[in-house]
Amino acid sequence: MQEPPGAPDKDAPPIPPTSGMQADPRLNAPTFAELFTPKLVTVLREGYGAKELRADAFAGATVAIVALPLSMAIAIASGVGPERGLYAAIVGGFFVSLLGGSRFQVGGPAGAFIVLVSASVARHGVDGLILATFLSGLMLATAGYLRLGSYVQLIPFPVTVGFTAGIAVIIFSSQIKDLLGLAIAGEAHGAILASLRADVAAIDTINPHAVGVAALTIATIVALRKWRPSFPGILVAVVFAAIATALFDLPVETIGDRFGVIPSGIGAPAIPDFSLRKIAAVFPDAFAFFLLGAIESLLSATVADGMTGRRHRANCELAAQGAANVATALFGGMVVTGTIARTATNVRAGAHGPVAGMMHSAFLLAFMAVAAPLLSYAPLAALAGVLAIVAWNMVERESFFALLRGSRGDAAALLATFFLTIFRSLTEAIAAGVAIGAVAFIHRMASAAQVTSEAPLIRRDEADAPPGERSAYVPATSAGAGTNVAIYRISGAVFFGSAASLGLALDRILAGEKTFILDFEKAAFVDSSGAQAIRSFVEKARRQHVEVIISAASAPIRAELDRAGVAPPRVSLAASIAEAIV
């Protein structure tokens, strides 16, 4: 059935309101059901037939081919078995597409989570990881239903670029062991500096065959992307490396050597271990999963919007991400989010809607059922090469250096987020980056606030009045004995960041006029601190017998000034400067 024009869940760009009309937003506000109706329903309402199914099936198969080796590589780098990544891609990816608010989003394990997941596994084991994934799903769903998605999108751009680059550095450093085939006991080395020290200490155990396999994998992916971009470069490279390893009997560690045979299916769901002690222990990890998952999923959905001209519903998407993480935890998978690489591949492959993401999960399950024994032959050096490419692609190099050349505030937020991600934690990095970005924004807003005079910079020279018309000089009353009307425009945001400098500027402009007109036509808003600065000026003017007229103040600004006591009879009000002069 064709969806009626103007339906709230239609993902076409909205029609702007008629100029000059300000309708009450509550009259056309969408209902809860309309906001959280999955995009799948929207697509089915548009009409869905064999043509659309073929397009989605082809796109789903294409994405599954990309996701198969990538999911295993991310899981292994995170310190869990490759099957955990496949469970996440199959179960989590299915629910992301089934319930999501993005038409083209494809979910699964993401490289950005490698740092968080590996740390969680090191501290709490796989059971702790599954519980943290479950809790993060509940947090994501709660955030969606509380309609916090719009606030997640307020994360400053330098923070996003900074933590993404920091994660990429950690991912690459974590793969040095397998890239070089180093003989180091244990799956994780801990912090990045400890990891690098362990790599250097074991440099004598370098395996030239592993280096060759990794280099062959990287070269194959790069070459295919350049000359055959339609080919599934990652899968071709891993298969080629596995064949070469088996054919020449190379002494290179494979998935089977480290993890054994990969299961050929998904087991029955199981409830994670719920105990107050365990929940308290994994809660910080769950919150970190929630924070990064919300940012990554909405960023990926925004990228899909830019590629297709459609729009996603952020809160519905968060709710779906929450359901997907709860589901993947029940089946033993790792944390799930929307991924840019798979989503972009989905769009480029000609997907019509969310069915493509669901088909991607179905194809992955089929691959797992048919080819699970063969997957065990994939060399770990080849998967490390895949992640080296992933890390390189994660870094937004052009944006990174552009931000460094930009304002000091953006550069500070970028570098703080980048280094804290590498050497401390992602949560601390995002908190610090957002705080620095907020301070930089406040400084910019404060700098934009201005008090400008409507009078000429050089006053006209006038003769003194005749002696009979002049009064004697009395210091207490002569400050306001002038005859001029001074007009000053206040522009920008009059708030706590600009209140002090604005107050000083106003105090300096009392220069003998009888009347001051403060025009607020270009003022963006006034908060309580700004209103108090205006009140201080008004009180000083009254002591000097100077009348103050507030002109062109909007209703919100008038209300704030009124709360501060800047209201008649202390001041006069006018709709415009012309009215104030009259």
Q: Which pLDDT belongs to residue 508?
A: 66
C-alpha dihedral sign at 404, 408, 411, 415: positive
Query: Do 215 and 385 touch, CB atoms closer than 8 A?
Result: yes
Per-residue model confidence (pLDDT) at position 462: 58
CA distance 534 to 518: 10
Work out the average pLDDT over 541-558: 87
The per-residue DSSP string of 75-102 comes to HHHTTS-HHHHHHIIIIIHHHHHHH-S-
Q: Are residues 392 and 517 located together in one domain of the fold? A: no
205 DSSP assignment: G
Strands 485-494 and 515-519: parallel
Q: Which pLDDT score is estimated for 458?
A: 46
pLDDT of residue 223: 93
Residue 19 lies in a domain: no
In this structure, is residue 228 part of a structural domain?
A: yes
Q: Are residues 425 and 543 in the same domain?
A: no
Q: Are residues 408 and 453 in the same domain?
A: no
pLDDT at 396 over 50: yes
Residue type, 502: L
Question: Which residue from 61, 66, 11, 14 is spatially nearest to 38, judged by alpha carbons?
Answer: 11
Same domain membership, residue 205 and residue 111:
yes
Is residue 345 located within the same domain as residue 412? yes
**pLDDT band at residue 193, thresholds of 50, 70 and 90?**
confident
Assess if residue 15 is contained within a domain.
no
For 6, counting Cβ atoms within 10 Å of its Cβ (0-12 exposed, 13-18 middle, 19+ buried), the class is: exposed
Question: pLDDT-derived band of residue 187, with 50, 70 and 90 as boundaries?
Answer: low
Q: List the one residue out of 513, 465, 453 whose CA is nearest residue 489.
A: 453
- Statement to judge: residues 513 and 383 lie in one domain: no
> If you search the block for the tokens 């089977």, which residue do you land on?
256
- Helix ranges, 182-232 (H): 192-201, 208-227
At 243-296, the pLDDT tens digits run: 999 888 899 999 998 888 888 889 899 998 888 999 999 999 999 999 999 998
Which domain CATH number covers 494? 3.30.750.24
Burial label, 293 (beta-carbon count in 10 A; 0-12, 13-18, 19+): buried
* pLDDT, position 327: 96
Claim to verify: residue 498 and residue 372 sit in the same structural domain = no
Q: Provide the token pair at 15.
A: 């029609």
SS3 519: strand
Judge whether residue 107 has pLDDT over 80.
Answer: yes
In a domain, 11, yes or no: no
The structure tokens listed for 453 are 């005079």
At a CB cut-off of 8 Å and minimum separation 6, what does 479 contact? Answer: 510, 512, 544, 545, 546
Q: Residues 417-446: what's their mean pLDDT?
A: 88
What does the DSSP 8-state code read for residue 500?
H
Return the pLDDT at 191.
74
Confirm whether pTM is higher than 0.75: yes
Report pLDDT for 7: 42
Give the pLDDT score at 404. 92
Same domain, 453 and 429: no
Whether residue 280 is contained in a domain is answered as yes
Number of domains making up the chain: 2
Backbone angles phi, psi at 419, to 5 degrees: -75, -35
415 and 321 in one domain?
A: yes
**Residue 309: Cβ within 10 Å count:** 9
Q: What is the pLDDT of residues 371-391, one digit of tens each?
A: 888 888 999 999 999 999 988
- In the predicted model, what is the mean pLDDT of the chain? 85
Chain segment 444-482, per-residue pLDDT in tens: 877 777 777 665 444 455 566 666 666 565 554 444 444
- Calculate what percentage of the chain has a pLDDT beyond 90: 42
User: Is 22 part of a structural domain of the chain?
Assistant: no
* Strands 107-108 and 337-338, bridge-based pairing: antiparallel
Range of the domain at 564: 449-457+478-581
Those residues whose C-beta lies under 8 Å from the C-beta of residue 19, and which sit 6 or more positions away, are none
Residues facing 453 on adjacent strands: 488
> Which of 42, 94, 117 is CA-nearest to residue 320?
94
524 located within any domain: yes
In 3D space, the residue among 44, 112, 69 whose CA is nearest the CA of residue 386 turns out to be 69
Mean pLDDT within 516-529: 87
pLDDT bracket for residue 192 (50, 70, 90): confident
Q: Are residues 483 and 405 in the same domain?
A: no
Give alpha helix (H) positions in 349-498.
Answer: 355-375, 380-394, 397-405, 408-423, 426-448
Higher-pLDDT residue of 462, 408: 408
Q: Which pLDDT does position 232 carry in this prediction?
A: 82
Residues 509, 486: contact at Cβ < 8 Å? yes
Residue 145 lies in a domain: yes
The pLDDT assigned to 4 comes to 39
Same domain membership, residue 521 and residue 413: no
Residues ≥6 apart with Cβ < 8 Å to 31: 8
Domain co-membership, 120 together with 145? yes
Residues 309-353 have pLDDT tens digits of: 888 999 999 999 999 999 999 999 999 999 888 898 899 889 999
Name the residue with higher pLDDT: 162 or 479.
Answer: 162
